[in-house]
Amino acid sequence: MSRQANRGTESKKMSSELFTLTYGALVTQLCKDYENDEDVNKQLDKMGYNIGVRLIEDFLARSNVGKCHDFRETADVIAKVAFKMYLGITPSITNWSPAGDEFSLILENNPLVDFVELPDNHSSLIYSNLLCGVLRGALEMVQMAVEAKFVQDTLKGDGVTEIRMRFIRRIEDNLPVGEE
């Protein structure tokens, strides 16, 4: 029985490592295809956005999470459910703004950066910028316009990885009268 449990754990670890290495290959190819880090950062964000737009349906179907009523509740669902479900980590939520429209997700361990060292000539590369795009895309599909950006990164010598989230506005659907 324990042998089967070990296989499941080993399989998840192998899947995680394969994902990390595949992501690394993607970033490496983007660095070859684009002339500067800013273009790579924009492309990673765009790719993440497109993933987020599609991933939200899977998330809502698998998580059985209901509608969030405010940005704090949204932050909890992102950290405690979404990151856990897709990356196997639970970031902490800190640094709420007084208005309650900004917070930070602190990733003690970012699985995307396992086995990664940034070369000196890519000091402005935001290696995990795909995550910001995923967050923006997914939240836009549930009528929330947000800004997401990295403010700290362990790849750049910081102690933790920090993603700063800012609520911009609620997106109103223009549905015909009488439909919800």
Q: Is pTM beyond 0.95 here?
A: no
Q: How far is CA 150 from CA 21, 66, 111, 155, in A?
A: 21, 28, 15, 12
Domain boundaries, given as residue ranges, for the chain: 16-170
What CATH number was assigned to the domain covering residues 16-170?
A: 3.30.1380.20
Q: What tens digit of pLDDT does each residue of 100-129 get?
A: 999 999 999 888 888 888 788 888 999 999
Residue 110: how many other CB atoms lie within 10 Å: 22
Torsion angle (degrees, nearest 10) of CA 60, 92, 108, 104 = 90
Please answer whether residues 150 and 165 qualify as being in contact, where contact means their C-beta atoms are separated by less than 8 angstroms.
no
**What is the C-alpha separation between 27 and 43, in angstroms, rounded?**
10
Residue 37: how many other CB atoms lie within 10 Å: 19
Tens digits of pLDDT across the chain (180 residues): 444 555 555 555 556 777 778 888 999 999 999 989 999 999 999 999 999 999 999 999 999 898 888 999 999 999 999 999 998 899 999 999 999 999 999 999 888 888 888 788 888 999 999 999 999 999 999 999 999 999 999 989 899 999 999 999 998 876 555 555
pLDDT of residue 21: 82
